[in-house]
Structure 1
Amino acid sequence: MATATRLYVTDDLGPGMPVEARADQAHYLRNVLRFKGGEVVHLFNGRDGEWRARVDALGKGRARFVVEEKRRDQRTSPDLWLLYAPIKRARHDFLIEKAVELGVSRLLPVLTGRTQVERVKEERLQANLIEAAEQCERLDIPALEAPLALDARLDGWPSNRRLILCAEAGAAPPIGEALAAARATPDPARPAWAVLTGPEGGFSDAELETLRHLPFVLPVGLGPRILRAETAAMTALAVWQSVLGDGGMRPPDRVE
């Protein structure tokens, strides 16, 4: 059975409610998927769960849905942040897509001494976030913040959040081992987590020295090989999800 198209909307969702599509969504349905009207789609807005709806009207640049019934109750992703140095466009898009798939709740670009890309097109990245959430069946959209210098980002860091530092230099326990120890002896003062990965040239020695002396930082190793920036982020997120996140949970039941 073919999977119905999933679309993110901002309108409230409930039985019988009409929902207007964005112009780009109408174009996609009409000109890419060749919908004619009456087709089933699945809608979510990050608040009301996922709902089955039907295309009620479809024309050039516009579409309307009528909501029928709920498929899934709202469920939020784990409270996991990703701090990362922006990288070149195609790889940046890839990083964003995979971070969404791996359940990150907030993306916080940081500017380090060796960051090569200091400007990001937030509108394009936001579109990538939404598209990735639609594809992977998330029910929420991660928050995306504007780039900020690393020291400014860490100034006033929330006291309840531990920061995993992924660094190549220096002795640090393997990430799986470090997170397993954290699971065995949780810190009630810092129950929330974040991951920090560096730029393509890595962190400077001065940055690493500063980071390692912060009380909320947990340095970890990612293995014997040098990883690209986006690979390091994906590795750390996947291991965190496996050990401390929802990676082992079964998918919820759905109303078909």
Structure 2
Amino acid sequence: MSTPRLFLDDALAEGAERHGTAAQAHHLGTVLRRGVGEAVRVFNARDGEFAATIAHLRKDRCAFALGPRLRAPGPEPDLRLVVAALKRDALDWVVEKATELGVSVIQPVLTRRTVAERVNTERLSAIARGAAEQCERLSVPALRPAMPLHRALDGWDGAPLLVAAERRGAAPVASVASGLRLPCGWLVGPEGGFEGAELDDATRRAFVTAVALGPRILRAETAAVAGLAVLQALAGDWTAT
């Protein structure tokens, strides 16, 4: 039986006792059937990962007694995802997989063909936390509130941003990504794709490069994950030994 990992935003240190959330208490007690005295691991990007035991557990409350540190904090890849607001199930899946792929920031954007009426940032943040706990990373990606695409681009810090541009005759993503190093970002449009003028406005910016993801038209959620995997493999921390 694997040891549960739990993200705690509070300062972590050996010998301390820290409280978990109501959701974590429910997951440990009701879903995993764990009890007081059983082992867990707690973590965050600031302090690292610690061995711990369940000190208190009720239906909606829990606390953990922290033991020795198992992993020290370390550098995290600055790989960012800018993704058009998709339908709920598709966006949930993208957030989960982007977390597993090591993304540091997820920025939902509103485009002219966006069909989703709203983005539940709180729910997506919880999905990201759960995915971080499962995939053994120390950090949880920041989930930014949804905003119009042009505003996200206006506020971009100049790091290279690749955009999936089907039917544009763009260079293959691998040929562009192989010349990059982090920080960089990946921009994916909505289910119906970007409008032409919208894509033109994005690619007029010096930091934006249009790239192609092969000869097939991909669903938005597939394009999001495929592009992130290429960037991690060629420019990110998949290159580390």
Shorter-chain TM-score category?
Answer: over 0.9
Partners of 2:12 and 2:90 in 1: how far apart? 35
Q: Output the CA distance in 1 between the equivalents of 2:98 and 2:129.
A: 12
Structure 1 residues 60 and 208 mapped into 2: Cα distance closer, same or farther (>3 Å)?
closer
- 1:37 corresponds to: 36
1:254 is matched with which residue? Answer: none
Q: What is the aligned partner in structure 2 of residue 174 from structure 1?
A: 172
- 1:204 matched residue in structure 2: 195
Aligned-partner residue type, residue 21 of structure 2: R
Conserved? CA contact 1:76–1:139, under 8 Å: no
Measured against aligned partners, the alpha-carbon deviations of 1:105-150 in whole angstroms (never above 9, x if no partner) come to 0011111111111311111111101001001111011111111111
The answer for the alignment partner of 1:218 in structure 2 is 209
Q: TM-score, normalised by structure 2?
A: 0.95
Aligned residues: 241
* CA distance in structure 1 between the partners assigned to 2:86 and 2:59 by the alignment: 37
| SS of structure 1 residue aligned to 2:42 | strand
Quote the Cα distance in structure 1 between the aligned partners of 2:152 and 2:12: 36
SS at match of 1:247: helix
The residue that corresponds to 1:108 in the other structure is 107
Aligned to 2:123: 124
The answer (yes or no) to whether the contact 1:76–1:140 under 8 Å persists in 2 is no
> Sequence identity, in percent?
45
Alignment correspondent of 1:243: 234
Which residue of 2 is the match for residue 163 of structure 1? Answer: 161
Match of 1:60 in 2: 59
Partner of 1:149: 148
1:20 is matched with 19
Letter of the 2:11 partner, please give it. Answer: D
AA in 2 matched with 1:33: L
Q: Secondary structure at the match of 1:168?
A: coil
Alpha-carbon distance, 1:45 to partner: 2.4
Runs of 4+, deviation exceeding 3 Å: none
Gaps of 5+ in 2: none
1:172-204 deviation per Cα after TM superposition (whole angstroms, max 9, x unaligned): 111111112x24xx7xxxx62111110000011
Kindly provide the amino acid, as one letter, of the partner of residue 161 in structure 2.
L
Gaps of 5+ in 1: 251-256
Deviation for aligned residue 1:59: 2.6
Q: Which amino acid in 2 is paired with 1:212?
A: T
State the distance in 2 between where 1:56 and 1:214 align: 53
Letter in 2 for 1:175: V
CA distance in 1, matches of 2:28, 2:199: 49
Matched position secondary structure for 2:55: strand
Task: Report the alpha carbon displacement of residue 247 of structure 1 after superposing the two structures with TM.
Answer: 1.4
1:227 partnered with 2:225 = no
Task: Please state whether the residue corresponding to 2:229 is helix, strand or coil.
Answer: helix
The 8 Å contact of residues 118 and 147 in structure 1, kept in 2 or not, is answered as no
TM-score, with length taken from structure 1 = 0.90
1:3 Cα deviation from its structure 2 partner: 2.1
Structure 2: distance between partners of 1:75 and 1:63:
28
Deviations 1:73-108 (A, max 9, x none): 112421111111011111111000000011110011
Helix, strand or coil at the partner of 2:77: coil
The residue aligned with 1:11 is 10
